[in-house]
Amino acid sequence: MAAADSPSTALRRRDLCSRGIRLAGKMRADVADLLDAYVEQQGLDASASVAAVEGVPLAAVERWDEQTGTQRLLENLAAYRAFRALLAQMLEEQREQLGEADAGLGRALAAVLLQVSAFAYHLEELLRLESRGIPGEEGDGPPPPPRLSLFEQKLRGLGVLRELAQWAVRSVRDLRQLAKPSPATGAAPGLAESP
Amino acid sequence: DSHIQYERVGADVTMKCGSMDWDAAVTWTANGTDIDESHLNGSYLILKNVDLSQSGQYSCYEGSSWHLKYQTYLRVGTPPKEPVLMCRSNNYPKGFYCSWHLPTPTYIPNSFNISVIHGTKDMVCEKDAIPKNRCHIRYIQLFSTVKYKVTLTVTNALGKNFTTLTFDEFAIVKPDPPESVVAKPVPNNPRRLEVSWQNPSSWPDPESFPLKFFLRYRPLILDQWQHVELSDGTSHTITDAYAGKEYIIQVAAKDNDIGTWSDWSVAVHATPWTEEPKHLTTEAQITETTSASTSSFMAPPTTKICDKGAVVGSGAVAVCWTAGLVVAAYSVLFI
């Protein structure tokens, strides 16, 4: 049976979760704005269905309420690392294709990329607090995507941003679960688990 | 033999008397009343341009023997129009429900079939016992970007119709209104009202899925509402109420992150605290005077019928008034 958290650990976790919730909330709002701008400037239909994009982590999860704290942190971290790379690719494509024409969109993309990076770091902090090893990043990111047409790139970008928006909501929920004290041990639910 | 026959409003209906020949002598009745021969063509009963009032039991009897040869129950109605379908999650993240109705009655029995698809997966919508035009679905996945597609088909003997709704998981989240809204005055504060409420009982996990609230209030004498949005907590103190004016107050709820606002709660009424007139604040001591010539003011005893206090629930108004609220001075001259 795992030992109860020290008060300082519990406080630190609560503090990190609260800040993480605020970060995720801000990120969600900015992703929503970015999505609107992206749809408009790329000439897309906001209601268009986009097939699952290879390499984009899906926020959809079954039995979400049964996940342990560690599972939540690890899945979130893997997702935001993937988004970091995907957004960097989108930014690069944006700059190549459109130059200065959509500087505003480029800036918005860069701002969200920064928030995604910050949130990934925040998740690493939470994992360190739980004395969990931080999984290494696989290689230098996702493999280069197959050469896509401009329209396919735009649709892929739409898929990336939509999924990121879902993740931002999920992350807020995950961190709230993490912040809940466990009644028996005082630790966050799912984190004080046997190895 | 007896059976049910469904016909559209406005249709022309021909009823045969079972296996009787066209030229057989028969008598037709509708709900036990003989039908005039003008409606007969031989032994066939002809009903032109039927309306709803012509629904009923039609019987055909052989002319001389009065043997019952045929009986049918005619139900006049209409094919269904496109049904109205609504889906909503008031218990996120457990699931959602869909409910439906027909915009106009058909006057004949209808059956409803609902299908729910999430991506490529069929989901089961479990019918509710009450109300019967409702079913609910448990979420298998959360945080999915894949839309849900709900198709409702309504069928009756005269036709069928359907409607389809497509929506995101987040879009249909709408809590029930807050419950147990209470508004009370704050002692010694003529411009304050303390309002408290509870999360709707249907919302399963307000700790993990907190709600935010919207409060609106106005004095009864004005039409303009004041609004306050509250990101946490289930209470609020109004600090700018007009002194002495009765207020109407309502609260609505929304998930902190997704979905839409609930309907407004039941309205409650309250009036801010007001200072009692000093000569009526306590049970007055009635002093008797035997003076020959005096003008005396005798304060009547005060009795509070009820305390100015909390008002709860369905729009009831608590009125507190003091018996003997006549503030008139009597001058009595005794000679």
Window 164-183 of A: residues touching B by CB (8 A cutoff) are 166-167, 169-170, 172-173, 176-177, 180
Residue B306: what pLDDT? Answer: 37
- Provide, as residue numbers in chain B, all residues whose Cβ is less than 8 Å from the Cβ of A25: 257
3-state secondary structure of A129: helix
Check: CB of residue A158 under 8 Å from CB of residue A93.
no
Say how far apart CA B100 and CA B152 lie, in whole Å. Answer: 8
* Low pLDDT (below 50) residues in chain B: 1, 284, 288-335
Q: Which CATH number fits domain B3-77: 1.10.357.10, 2.40.50.180, 3.50.50.60, 2.60.40.10?
A: 2.60.40.10
Burial environment of residue B190 by CB neighbours within 10 A (0 to 12, 13 to 18, 19 or more)? middle
- Per-residue model confidence (pLDDT) at position B131: 84
Cα distances (Å, whole numbers) of residue A129 to A6, A83, A134, B118, B204:
11, 23, 11, 38, 30
- With CA atoms as reference, the chain A residue closest to B119 would be A51
H/E stretch holding B79: none
The residues facing B162 across adjacent strands are B153
Please judge whether B143 and A60 are an interchain contact, meaning their C-beta atoms are less than 8 angstroms apart.
Answer: yes
Cα-based angle A126, A128, A132 (whole degrees, multiple of 5):
105
- Cross-chain residue pair A170–B142, CB shorter than 8 Å: yes
Which of B76, B55, B63 shows the shortest CA–CA distance to B17?
A: B63
Structure-block tokens of residue B201: 């009982």
Residue ranges, comma separated, of all CATH 2.60.40.10 domains in chain B are: 3-77, 84-167, 179-270
Please tell me the distance in Å from B209's CA to the nearest CA on chain A: 7
What is chain A's Cα-based Rg? 18
> How high is the mean pLDDT in each 10-residue block of chain A (195 residues)?
67 91 95 91 79 86 93 96 94 74 81 96 91 67 66 88 95 93 53 43
Which CATH topology does B179-270 take? Answer: Immunoglobulin-like (2.60.40)
- Cβ-defined contact of B140 to A62 (cutoff 8 Å): yes
- Within 8 A of A65 by CB-CB distance, chain B residues are 93
> What pLDDT does B98 receive?
97
Do the chains contact at B145 and A25, CB–CB below 8 Å? no
Q: What span, in angstroms and rounded, lies between the C-alpha atoms of B333 and A21?
A: 79
Nearest Cα to Cα of residue A4 among A180, A191, A159, A136: A191
The tokens 């009370």 sit on which residue? B184
Statement: B84-167 belongs to CATH 3.40.50.10170: no
Separation in Å, CA of B267 to nearest CA in chain A: 32
Q: Is B143 in contact with A176 (Cβ distance < 8 A)?
A: no
Min Cα distance B253 → chain A (Å) is 18
- Is residue A72 within 8 angstroms of chain B, CB to CB? no
Does the beta-carbon distance from A173 to B258 stay under 8 Å?
A: no
SS3 B230: strand
**Residue of B143, B208, B231, B258 to mutate, testing the A interface (most A Cβ within 10 Å of its Cβ):** B143
Interchain pair A60, B145: CB under 8 A: yes
Cβ pair B207:A180 closer than 8 A: yes
Helix (H, G, I), strand (E, B) or coil at B147: coil
Q: Which residues of B touch A166 (CB under 8 A)?
A: 143-145
pLDDT at B185: 97
Amino acid at position A86, single letter: L
Q: Are B93 and A64 in contact (CB under 8 A)?
A: yes
Spell out the domains of chain A, with CATH numbers in brackets: 12-58+67-133+148-179 (1.20.1250.10)
Note whether B170 contacts A162, CB cutoff 8 Å.
no
Instruction: State which H helix or E strand residue B231 sits in.
Output: none
Residue of A nearest to B259 (CA): A169
Residue numbers in B near A58 (CB within 8 A): 144-145
Rounded CA Rg of chain B: 35
Residue of A nearest to B139 (CA): A62
- The enclosing H or E element of B112 equals strand B111-118
Check B257 against A172: CB less than 8 A apart: yes
**Chain A residue nearest residue B94, CA to CA:** A65
pTM, rounded to two decimals: 0.79
Nearest-angstrom CA–CA distance, A156 and A85: 14
What DSSP line would sit under B17-81, residue for residue? -TT--TTS-EEEEETTEEPPGGGEETTEEEE-S--GGG-EEEEEEETTT--EEEEEEEEEE----
Q: Which of A25, A170, A180 sits opposite B143 (nearest CB)?
A: A170
B170: distance to nearest CA of chain A, Å? 9
Size of interface A-B (CB pairs under 8 A): 47
Q: Which of A28, A163, A173 sits opposite B145 (nearest CB)?
A: A163
